[in-house]
Structure formats: structure tokens, C-alpha cells
Structure 1
Amino acid sequence: MKKFSLDVIGLGTCNADFIMKVPRFVESDDEVDIQELLPSIGGSAANFAVGISRQGLKAGIMTRIGKDHFGRLAVQKFRDEGVDTERLLHINEKTGMAFIAVDSHGERAMYTFMGANAKFYLEKEDIEYIKSSKLLHITGMYKEVVEEASKHANLLSLNPGTLLSSYGLKTLDKIIKKAHIIFLNKKEVKILTGLNFNEGSQTILNMGVPIVVVTCGKSGATVYTENDVISSPTGGVEALDTTGAGDAFAAGFIASFVKDKKLEDCLKMGNIVAAQCVGRLGALK
């Protein structure tokens, strides 16, 4: 059996998050006082990789950050969390940023600046790094990067998000067929397939993807396989902030999957980790 130096790698974005707790969202020409301001490190790959490491696995991250204060904070955060930073590269761009308003119901509105994330190009060393991991999880990244990275994964987990899903099934056909697990929320299933989440999930299964996981917010999540449909509720946790909840869910699910747990247990762990995330302000507090 092949030995891997890493269990899981997260490929995607890393940002400096500025999370603003507000009583309500503003409209045009409106103004609202910020009740609490929390700066932190975030981004889809960052949230996921830290979540994997906190589950006791050897996690790595592939992302691009700036040669600036926020880039240095990101490196320190990952090292504190035990995440391997070999392919966390500093480039001559500003670190990506996200300005996230969270209302009294825990819902969010977000403005993002891609910065260094927009300059992610795969290098030879990145490909070797991907090959060194049991599983590659791709989230929040451009199609060209995903196409190339997916060719080299031993196991591929894909969270396409709204950006990739908007290309549709036909354009993403080759990428999707390489995936072992695909994570989507109900809205993304509709965007990707043009179908409701049950029919859309079945369509993705028919393309040869073994596992499709659909997150349903407060209703929990459902996993679809060729022979089974399994649902798991969230447990009714009050949401203070939904930022990073999908990344947290994926980290919990994948950590259990890599540990060879049953899919029911993977779902439960995904919901547990997501519940911990939404119960606090900020994805990586």
C-alpha cells in the first residue's frame, strides 16, 4: 500500500477576513453601526485545511498570499494549527480579503477582493505536492487551475461553489468525472444541473461520481450514492455566523471519510463541525 506524506490537501483561497456584526444589512444610501469587528484568517482552503488538522489528520494547504502583514499572519495561523505550508506561496500581490457583514440572524453579506488568489498558477512542485496526499479537496478556485490539479489527485473531493457551478455540467464534465466526492448546497445543485437537488444529485451520480453530498443549511445534509440516500439533521444549533460553515462541514466529513468511517458517521461529523462553526463569530476563531 502506498504511503502518503499528507492525509488531505486543501486547494483554494486564503483571505484576511474582516467580520462585522451588524443589527441588519444596509440598503443603498443607508448606514448601520458595526456592533463588533473581528479580523481573522479565512478563505475556503484555509478554513478547510485548519478543520482537517483539528480532526487529527496531516493537512496541507495550496494557496497564494501576499508579501504583506496579512500574509505573515496567515503563515503563523497555519503553523499554529499544524497545517503544512510547503505550497503556501508568497507572491507580489496583496493577500486576498473578505469583508463580511453578519446580521442578527447569523446570515451574511460579503464583499471579496481576490488579490493573490487570482494569481494562482500550478507549478511543477504543486503537482508533486498533490501526488503526496491521499486526498485533494478543491474549493473556491478557477476552472483552469481545477482542471489541471484534478488530473494528479489520488482521490479528488470537489466543492465547486457558485463560481465553478455556473459553468454547468457540460463544461465541467471532465472535472466532475474525476471526482470521488462532490459537495454542493441546494442552490449550487440548481446552478450546476438546472434541476432540483434530488434530481440534480442523481444526474451527477449518473456521470460516475460515487458520492454526492448536498448541504441544506438548518435542515442538515444528505449524501447520495448509487445505492443509498442518507440524511442527517443539524441538531438545531442557533447560528451566530454562517461564515465558513460549508468548509467546516466538508472538513468534518472528509476527515471521517479518510479515517474509513461509514457515510452516516461522515455526515454526522460534518454536521457537528459545522455546528461548532456557526455557533461562533468567524470561521477560524
Structure 2
Amino acid sequence: MAGVTTTVTVFGSCNMDLVAYVPTAPGRGETVLGREFRTAPGGKGANQAVAAAKAGARTRMIGAVGDDEFGDRITRNLRESTVDVAGMRVVPGASGTAHIVVDDAGANSIVVVPGANAALDDLADGDDRVLDESDCLLLQLEIPLPGVAAAARAARRRGARVVLTPAPAAELPAELLADVDLLVPNEHEAAVLTGSAEPREALRGLLELVGEAVITRGSAGSVYGNRDGDVVEVPAFPVPAVDTTAAGDTFAGVLATELGAGSPVERAMRRAAAASALSVQRNGATAAMPERAEVDRFLSER
């Protein structure tokens, strides 16, 4: 696989996804029959690491797993996806899990049980050296907030671009935002951060917090803005969705890779949108993510 000249480090969650496929998701107090069940390595951190690696970046993962079978599978999947796992920690107890319900429309709902991810409340010995060699740090919020803030602060000191996907949605402290270069929320997360569900208004609100932001909007595409007043909108590619679990993490991993390689924002967003479009046509998380050559072919046909 041809690579790109950038190094991406991910500091974040590693989970085992426990996925039930159902015709219609159950409501409160309701029981439904599923048609299939799968287990697959996931977690927003590990997912974004695999997405970046498949996009061609040199990728390193700093995360934590339990001393259980799930932990072994998660680490092996990262390694097989060409992600450097030297920064992975193994802690006593259970690995994190994500309990996912996917309906026939491809929509999903997720409950995350952090498990070993709770150990990522600070940097460990050696993590600083990994960040020294990184062009970009990718962060999410499935690990303790003090750990996210410590990693962002260390990366900022070293001149790495700090990209944060604020998921699960939460209010963010000003000291963390001061170290974030680019926020990549979806519409719901942007609304939590800004109080506005209208994308352009939410974008303006995000730019009061950080210098750059991209709001992902599912089938409505994505929109970018910065404090210089630049706005870029990129439509989504219309494809039949089977499972949207990996879409957001695929977008973030590919976007970070392309920006780190020096691509203009519009090209980076378009490639991220193409990779997401390919991912939603397949079941699973990391298994659904496309290689760089697949994205090239997809775009060449359009």
C-alpha cells in the first residue's frame, strides 16, 4: 500500500465491539429478536488509528487493554492493520466493551463500558517520545478527560497538530480547548458544545472555542470553517448504508492523514467522505474501513 508522508498518533480508547443486528432497534422496555451477532475490535481510538493506517499514514496507538482475550484480539488487530502498538498498556481486569445495536436502516445506538480505558488518565513513561515523532495527535472522549488534556498539552508543546473528536458529547474545559487545533464533531456533538442545531450557526460557535472545525452531517456531508472566515462544504456520496458504526472514525482518521500530508482542506474532506461512504456499505468497524487504493478507485469513478 502506498503511504503518505505523515505520522499520526492516536491517544484513545480500545474496545471490543459486541454488535447485534436487528430489523428495528428496541424501545425502552422492549425486547426484539436479532438476526445476527458479531464481536469485532473497535473503540473510537483504535478505529481512528486503523483508519489512518489504511489511509497510508505511519500510525502509532497509545491505549490500554485488559489482560483478557478481548485485549489480545484488540492488540493483534491493530498490529495486523500496520499500527505501531509499542504504546499499548495491558492492565489487570477487563478490556473496554461497546454494546452496539444496528438496525436495517444502518443506524446504530451504542453503550460503552470503559474497562481498561480508565487507566488512560495521564501519559505514561515513553508516551512523550512517541509524541516527539508525531505530526498529528488524534483524540476522542472515551477515556478520562485528564488523560485527553495531558496528551493534548504534550502534543502542543511538541508542535503536533491536535485533532479532537468530541465524542461522546460533553462540555469541554477551556484549558483543553486551548491545546486543540481542529475539532471534528458530528451535528449532535456540535449542538452540545454550542447550543445550536443549525450547522452554520454551530460552526460559528465552535470557532469561538478553537481555530478550525469540521462538522460531519451524515448524508448531508460536512462543513469546515476557520477563524480567517474560510468555509468549505463537501457533500456526502450517496450510497446504500448497511452499518454506520465506522463512518465518523473513518472520516476523522482519513481527514487527519490527508491534512498531515499537506492536502488542501477540501481534498482532505472529500477523501474522508469517500472513505466513509465505502465503510457504511460494509458491516463492522475496522473491518469496514477501506484501504487508500480503494478510495482512489472510488473517487476516480466519480
Q: Matched residues in 2 for 1:85 and 1:268: separation?
A: 29
Aligned match of 1:283: 285
Q: How does 1:56-205 map to 2 (within 5 A)?
A: 56-121=56-121, 122-140=123-141, 141-153=143-155, 154-163=160-169, 166-168=170-172, 172-195=173-196, 196-205=198-207
Question: Greater shift after overlay, 154-163 or 24-33?
Answer: 24-33
Shift of 1:162: 3.2
Question: Greater shift after overlay, 227-236 or 78-87?
Answer: 227-236
Q: Matched residues in 1 for 2:67 and 2:165: separation?
A: 28
Shift of 1:6: 7.1
Aligned match of 2:54: 54
Shift of 1:135: 0.8
Shift of 1:145: 1.0
Shift of 1:76: 1.1
Equivalent AA in structure 1 for residue 131 of structure 2: I
1:42-82 residue CA offsets vs partner (Å, 9 max, x unmatched): 00011100011111110011111011111111111111110
Aligned match of 2:295: none
Q: How does 1:29-48 map to 2 (within 5 A)?
A: 29-48=29-48
Question: Greater shift after overlay, 13-22 or 172-181?
Answer: 172-181
Shift of 1:232: 0.9
Aligned match of 1:26: 26
Under a length normalisation based on structure 2, what TM-score does the superposition of the two structures give?
0.86
Q: Matched residues in 1 for 2:6 and 2:67: separation?
A: 26
1:200-227 residue CA offsets vs partner (Å, 9 max, x unmatched): 32233244x3321000011111111223
Tell me the secondary structure at the aligned position of residue 161 of structure 1.
coil
1:148-194 residue CA offsets vs partner (Å, 9 max, x unmatched): 1111112211111234xx225xxx22221222211011111111122
Q: Matched residues in 2 for 1:116 and 1:175: separation?
A: 23
Shift of 1:272: 0.8
1:207-258 residue CA offsets vs partner (Å, 9 max, x unmatched): 4x33210000111111112231111111111111111211100111111111
Q: Matched residues in 2 for 1:155 and 1:232: separation?
A: 22
Equivalent AA in structure 1 for residue 174 of structure 2: D
Q: Matched residues in 1 for 2:202 and 2:220: separation?
A: 18
Shift of 1:29: 4.3
Equivalent AA in structure 2 for residue 167 of structure 1: E
Aligned match of 1:16: 16
Equivalent AA in structure 1 for residue 239 of structure 2: V
Q: Matched residues in 2 for 1:142 and 1:200: separation?
A: 25
Aligned match of 1:255: 257
Given that 1:60 and 1:85 are in contact with CA atoms closer than 8 Å, whether structure 2 keeps it comes out as yes
Aligned match of 2:240: 238
Shift of 1:111: 2.1
Given that 1:65 and 1:90 are in contact with CA atoms closer than 8 Å, whether structure 2 keeps it comes out as yes
Given that 1:6 and 1:132 are in contact with CA atoms closer than 8 Å, whether structure 2 keeps it comes out as no
Shift of 1:7: 0.2
Q: Matched residues in 2 for 1:44 and 1:139: separation?
A: 7
**Identity between Structure 1 and Structure 2 (%):** 27
Q: Matched residues in 2 for 1:176 and 1:96: separation?
A: 26
In structure 2, the CA distance between the partners of 1:101 and 1:256, relative to structure 1 (3 Å rule), is same
Shift of 1:32: 1.9
Equivalent AA in structure 2 for residue 66 of structure 1: G
In structure 2, the CA distance between the partners of 1:179 and 1:28, relative to structure 1 (3 Å rule), is closer
Given that 1:6 and 1:60 are in contact with CA atoms closer than 8 Å, whether structure 2 keeps it comes out as no
Q: Matched residues in 2 for 1:147 and 1:27: separation?
A: 36
Q: Matched residues in 1 for 2:140 and 2:84: separation?
A: 18
Q: Matched residues in 1 for 2:211 and 2:28: separation?
A: 45
* Structure with greater proportional strand content: 1
Given that 2:62 and 2:88 are in contact with CA atoms closer than 8 Å, whether structure 1 keeps it comes out as yes
